[in-house]
Amino acid sequence: MLITAINGSPNHDGNTSLLLREALAAARELGAETRLLNVAEVLADLDQPFCEVCSNPCNAACAEGNRLGEALDLLRQVDGLIIGSPVYFGTITGQLAAFWDKTRTIRRDRALLNVVGGAVSVAGSRFGGQETTIKAVHDLMLVQGLIIVGDGHREFDCGHQGVCSQQPSGSDVNAIDRTRILARRIVEVARATEGLRHR
């Protein structure tokens, strides 16, 4: 069982990363292998970080022999995916959007079909656009065919759509608790749906 978190923040060690690391710790407690991808680092060595649809279908020329290629290879193996983004003007970061556009090649192969996903978002205020950002992440997941988890049982609640945090996230105990619950839900559903992921 491989659970990977994608940090959509340009800051590899900030509020979003803190929550994603909490999620991965909870997944490891359930026996999952975990990895963390920082999209800003993945895109850093590309001459062109934005997808220009240079070929259709995508031949992944931009991902040959670099960190983007390694990231896409990792995504081909995941059972669960947690995507986090700070709120930028009510939605995801440009870095996350640019990275996800580069996943066209694995969409062609349906590599993320039936992978289980959940979302985490952080803003500067309690009502700072977290839920609209989470819904934008869900849209990314839906186009790739992921199975999205949200709210759990009353005593097992990760948030209606996902985890909404106010920075500093290290002080947001509610968000930390919900992040760990979200990770446990992703592992639970990933185990139950393992046979749907044909690799």
The residue extents of the domains of the chain are 2-189
pLDDT over 70 (residue 56): yes
In this prediction, residues 41-52 reach a mean pLDDT of 91
Q: How far apart are CA 81 and CA 11, in angstroms?
A: 19
Predicted TM-score of the model (pTM) = 0.94
Q: How confident is the model at residue 178 (pLDDT cuts 50, 70, 90)?
A: very high
Report the pLDDT value the prediction gives residue 173, as an integer from 0 to 100. 94
Burial (Cβ within 10 Å: 0-12, 13-18, ≥19) of residue 15: buried
Per-residue pLDDT tens for 114-157?
Answer: 999 999 999 999 899 999 999 999 999 999 999 999 876 666 66
Q: How confident is the model at residue 18 (pLDDT cuts 50, 70, 90)?
A: very high
Q: How far apart are CA 44 and CA 109, in angstroms?
A: 25
pLDDT over 80 (residue 21): yes
Half-sphere exposure (Cβ direction) of 176: Cα atoms closer than 13 Å: 12
Report the pLDDT value the prediction gives residue 135, as an integer from 0 to 100. 97
pLDDT over 70 (residue 179): yes
2-189 to CATH, choices 3.40.50.360, 3.30.70.1520, 2.40.30.10, 1.10.3720.10: 3.40.50.360
Per-residue pLDDT tens for 6-16?
Answer: 999 999 999 99
